[in-house]
Structure 1
Amino acid sequence: PEQANQDTIHPHRGFDNIWYAISGSSSTGHSTGPGGTMERAKLEEGSLLKVRTGRGVLHAEGLGKDELAQGKIGTEMRGLLFWVNLARKDKNVEPTAQVVQRAQLPLRQEGDASIRTLVGEGSPVTLGTPGVILDVELTKGGAVTIPVDAGFNGFVYLLEGEASFGANRSRASRSQIAVLGPGRELAVADAQPGTRFMLMAGKPYGETPIYNGPYVD
């Protein structure tokens, strides 16, 4: 909110930028309009924005005038931002933006978990490499086993609660990361009620990215 009247425009290039609104709502702008003009996206709870930054894009966060008029200044939102590298052959593609609403993201029940697919089978969102991003919630706790391609690298990020992960049953809790080892599935056990986590996994490019501030070359 304190940035509502500030210029937050900044550049990015070389990766897919995925912004997922976990709770609350937010606004963002990006120079993917005609001739590089700024477009604005309003993200409601459960929706996401994917920006393929490609050869370069300008990005900005901030509330719009209509939202300020609605009194949204001072409100809170919680979100996750994923940076997913692009292969070198795709570094110079034209930047694009895609807004996906909550209802467009597949939801399924597996074990004791509700699983919403942000990236993966049934989702309209794709990355530059095969991959999955899942929002997994065990409202009553319990266990779930999730298939993961054996060729993927991945990790789990705990949003809420606590659970045991993998064959070695490593325990992780809120704001911690569990890195996936080799295998074809992720086993989750002894989850506390209200446990929620993000699973992100994908096929490596076999290239070494060069990190340069807001750029991934």
Structure 2
Amino acid sequence: MPETQISNGFSEPRLVVRKFLARPQHEGAGAIVRRSIGRFELKYFDPFLVLDEFSVSAPAGFPDHPHRGFETVTYMLQGAVQHEDFEGHKGSIEAGDLQWMTAGRGIVHSEMPAATGVQKGLQLWINLSSKNKMIEPRYQEIESKNIAEATKDGIKVRVIAGEALGKKSPVYTKTPTMYLDFTLSPGAQLQQPIPIKWNAFVYVLEGEGVFGNPKNLPTTAHHLLLLGSGDGLEAWNKSLKPLRFVLVGGEPLGEPVVQLGPFVMNTQEEIDRTIEDYENCINGFEKAKYWRSEVLRF
């Protein structure tokens, strides 16, 4: 029996099966993102469509653009962005805050810097099942102070979605999802259960850590680790500095995916219809005809 099975108590511990370095690329209007899911080598990791670690300074940003057929999860790490959409919803997402936006049948919005300096965060796109792709748009927004947190044995976790260390998130996910922000002190060791049928990955934000097998080499910031099958993950911080990473998992949809930029449907015919709907401002995009954002640009 492998050493990892003896040490961690999981019946089938998850090991790292692929590893990527997310390199900087341009996106939006002058913004820089490190894309790890949604790139050439990994176009889709069911149910996840895109994972970007973004860095943006005014006047760059993500001006008015549409979405249909999935959810966007914006988690700010530094600074703030101003959000506005054609439904009249607007506000600032600041460091530590979460916005879980279900685009559903259609939304047009903008995301621009809300302060001077560099704004940093993560944006995750989660696919919606065919039965949910055309639901009405909705938002769940949680300020940093209201995100569930727990600390134990040198481990701190912020529970964005799902459950960890006895704390649960109030976020409701159309596609069952876990999203956990861990910080491990030097010498700390983590054991985190993951539903056995879910896909899961780790994205390292700061420091360096060992994942899946204690004999693995440390992984540093800006790397994505795809995890194999199993019922849990074990991680170690063997360095002298804190290790911060997100662990994200989701229930696979097992459905066809046809994507054209910000539109994600199940068939090419649905994509063609979506383009027509957007261009003609119908079937969910009616308000796009006259709407333009008024977000302050620094």
Question: For residues 190-209 of structure 1, what are the structure 2 equivalents within 5 Å?
Answer: 190-192=237-239, 193-209=241-257
Partner of 1:157: 203
Question: For residues 12-161 of structure 1, what are the structure 2 equivalents within 5 Å?
Answer: 12-31=67-86, 37-63=87-113, 72-73=115-116, 75-121=117-163, 122-161=168-207
Normalising by structure 1, we get a TM-score of 0.86
Change (3 A) 1:190 1:100: closer
Partner of 1:213: 261
AA partner of residue 183 (structure 2): E
SS at the partner of 2:236? strand
Q: Is the 8 A contact 2:185 2:237 kept in 1?
A: no
Q: What is the deviation of 1:103? A: 2.1
After superposing the two structures, state which structure 1 stretch, 159-168 or 52-61, moved more. 159-168
Change (3 A) 1:150 1:8: same
Change (3 A) 1:152 1:169: farther
CA–CA separation in structure 2 for the residues paired with 1:191 and 1:204? 32
CA–CA separation in structure 1 for the residues paired with 2:215 and 2:104? 39
CA–CA separation in structure 1 for the residues paired with 2:214 and 2:190? 15
State percent identity of aligned pairs: 32
SS at the partner of 2:175? coil
CA–CA separation in structure 1 for the residues paired with 2:251 and 2:215? 24
Partner of 1:10: 65
CA–CA separation in structure 1 for the residues paired with 2:127 and 2:105? 13
SS at the partner of 2:195? coil
State the structure with more CA Rg. 2
Q: Is the 8 A contact 1:45 1:102 kept in 2?
A: yes
Q: What is the deviation of 1:27? A: 1.1
SS at the partner of 2:145? helix
Equivalent residues, number: 203
SS at the partner of 2:210? strand
Q: What is the deviation of 1:169? A: 4.7
Partner of 2:229: 182
CA–CA separation in structure 2 for the residues paired with 1:215 and 1:191? 42
CA–CA separation in structure 1 for the residues paired with 2:94 and 2:249? 25
CA–CA separation in structure 2 for the residues paired with 1:13 and 1:38? 18
Q: What is the deviation of 1:168? A: 6.6
CA–CA separation in structure 1 for the residues paired with 2:237 and 2:75? 27
CA–CA separation in structure 2 for the residues paired with 1:131 and 1:102? 19
Normalising by structure 2, we get a TM-score of 0.64
AA partner of residue 102 (structure 2): R
Change (3 A) 1:179 1:111: farther
Q: What is the deviation of 1:201? A: 0.3
AA partner of residue 41 (structure 1): G
CA–CA separation in structure 2 for the residues paired with 1:3 and 1:141? 42
AA partner of residue 165 (structure 1): F
Q: What is the deviation of 1:109? A: 2.1
SS at the partner of 1:94? coil
Please list every run of 5 or more consecutive structure 1 residues that lacks an aligned counterpart in the other structure.
32-36
